[in-house]
Amino acid sequence: MLEAATLIKECSGYLKPEDVSQLQNAFDFSESAHEGQFRDSGEPYISHPLAVAGILAEWHLDSQALTAALLHDVMEDTSITKNQILETFGKPVAELVDGVSKLDKIEFETHEEAQAENFRKMLLAMARDVRVILIKLADRLHNMRTLDAVPAHKRRRIARETMEIYAPIANRLGLNSIYQELEDLSFKYLYPDRYRVLSKAVSTARGNRREVVSKVLAAIEKRFHDSSIAAQVRGRQKHLYSIYRKMREKHLSFAQVLDVYGFRIVVKDVQACYVALGVLHGLYKPIPGKFKDYIAIPKANGYQSLHTHLFGPFGSPIEMQIRTQEMHKIAEAGVASHWLYKSSDQSITDLQKKTHQWLQSLLEMQSESGDSVEFLEHLKVDLFPDEVYVFTPKGKIMAMPRGATAVDFAYAVHTDIGNRCVAVKINQELMPLRSELKNGNRVEIITASHAKPNPLWLNFVATAKARSHIRHFLKTMHFEESVQLGERLLNQALSTFKSNLNSVPEVQWTKLLREANAKSRADVLSDIGLGKRHAVVVARQLLAIRDPAPGEQTNAGSMGTVVIHGSEGMAVQFSKCCHPIPGDRIIGLISKGQGMAIHTHDCPVLAKSHHDPERVLDVEWDNESRKLHDVNIRAVVANERGVLAQVAASIADAESNIQNVAVEPQDGGKYATMQFTLQVINRLHLARIMRELRRIPEVTRITRVRN
């Protein structure tokens, strides 16, 4: 257990005397607050905040962060309030403690919802001050180091949460040593048997390979000395979970994972990195396709190094990492290097900038996410980026997660470009928007002012930012369209009482909003459009007309007929059970929370189900509408060569698009059935297409398919 005196002594080496004094006060304050409290291990509770502060002191974090680390549990576990911390230690410390504290006072329906809200708050606090997450990660690291004392049923849950959220965040912020330790500890408690077996195998292998390692080490050092390159060469063992992950992903046995051990070479500058690389390639042959230049193209978390795999002296591959001293500091400490090494080093500045951009994108996502669980889902997507590097048309390098598509790239450039994209050129060739990006692709997005996101994009986008913006746009569009439909339905209902929206007094709207507990008129109209409120009931409330008693006759007529233009968007849906097209007799059915569905008058699905009469509306087509509608037709044709081409040409001549086609040979093979989904303007257009098809001698029967 770390002693307070040890912590104070360590901090005295880099903090001012007044800061060290504040730290001592914070320890005394925390010790007093936690008096009588013990951890599951039986140690006094103060040992935990002391250990967390000790981890942060290794990074040379400032006194505010260390003070907050000592106090990080007092608000949650004792009667101390935020105001008391504010008065004693100042606002920055109080904000840090509040950012780290959990939300135990809020009641949630599920554990997942509570955890999601915790992460949401933590990441918002982190966006204001990145030290919040550094304290939180140190807190989690000490908890994982002492997880043996926790009841067994809790261990697995805490380990999974660490593996899914905390370790990836540490990786995203470039905190390499913490990231690896959190992964190994999570692995230990999630899969104890696998951890034990693998740990023993690695230990044995290390002994067996000691001769290889020492031989390689001596050869490298001699070659560098002969080439007059000043370098520190260190042997490096891969951490257990990375070995396990490689075995699982590539279906390898431990014996097949040969690069368990690697070497790290630290040189004085960037030029020396490339010279050292040339020397190593002259010493041992490089393995083709296993070289990565993270100096020219750094990882998203600021990591820089040259990686190469070589054939070792006994034919076993050896991994080499070559970097400068500054790169090594950033690789180990990540964003904490901002406090650890005060300098004007450009790479550290870039790292701060990248971290800030990532945190800002989290803020955007959380403001657009409807709930905490959705936000956490976005966050998890964003935390596992196995990067692909692509170029913009101007040559700027952009890092995208593996599996990212052209739509992800468009949203990464700018939200408006994502919302307006219609096509993409990859390496100057037109490609589908769902195309996955590969390393080195040059990507150019083509936009159009009238374009908008397609809901189908959600099936293939890989980044949290793209998913979040698409969902936000669709929600907004759905709301706006349901408001427009609600306005039409309410106006229609008011007309039955010889009134309209323009003649409703303001005082009646105010009264309705108060009684309905609605924020605005738009909310009421949206509820009508989505079927959550009856247009006739709202009309009566606005005109102060009492509801009729059961059996009482009213003077108001029916709501009249609603005109459908065919371009209403998401608020009006054309039912898949009967595929109505202009010219069909139709009726509208308002479903609660889903808007209006249009069915044909003789729809068999509608006939079998029972509906509230007030939700069934008379609707008619707008004769001016030129929008295309999907319709299904079935043709029985002679099973001869070239028939499909004849039918397709005839459909094209009739100015229709084929959305889908399927051909099924009938028994005996003499005839075949063709199923088409066509786009038509109305019934007359469909009749013209079917007339053209009947003129083909090979077509024996043609019918429209209703469902």
Residues assigned a catalytic role: 76-77
Query: Which of 60, 75, 189 lies closest to 134 in space, CA to CA?
Result: 60
> Are the C-beta atoms of 457 and 473 separated by less than 8 Å?
no
CA distances from 217 to 214, 224, 233, 312 (A): 5, 11, 7, 11
Please tell me the distance from the alpha carbon of residue 89 to that of residue 129, in angstroms, as a whole number: 17
CA dihedral 643, 649, 650, 655 (to 10 degrees): 150
- Residue holding tokens 């889902």? 377
Burial 76-93 (b: 16+ CB within 10 A, else e): ebbebeeeebbebbeebb
Q: Which residues contact 106 (CB under 8 A, 6 or more apart)?
A: 114, 117
Place of tokens 């680390």: 69
Q: Cα(475)–Cα(470) distance, rounded to whole angstroms?
A: 9
Per-residue buried b or exposed e for 163-200, using 16+ beta carbons within 10 Å of the residue's own CB: bebbbbbbbbbbbbebbbbbbbbbbbbbbeeebeebee
Report helix, strand or coil for 157.
Answer: helix
- Is 239 in contact with 183 (CB distance < 8 Å)? yes
Q: Which residues pair with 483 in a beta bridge?
A: none
Element (H, E) at 359: helix 346-368
- Reported residue count of the chain is 707
DSSP helix/strand/coil, 264: strand
Measure the CA–CA gap between 139 and 99, rounded to whole angstroms. 13
Q: Backbone dihedral region of 551: left (phi > 0), alpha (psi from -120 to 50 degrees) or beta?
A: left
One-letter amino acid of 37? Q
The DSSP symbol for 162 reads I
Q: Quick one: tokens of 686?
A: 């469909």
Tell me the two tokens of residue 11.
């901090």
* DSSP letter for each residue of 240-252: HHHHHHHHHHHT-
d(CA 197, CA 188): 11
AA identity, residue 455: P
What backbone torsions phi and psi does residue 175 show, to the nearest 5 degrees? Answer: -85, 75
The alpha carbon of 706 is separated from its chain's Cα centroid by a whole number of angstroms, namely 39
Q: Which of 379, 429, 387 is nearest to 409 (CA)?
A: 387
The two beta strands, 616-621 and 561-564, are parallel
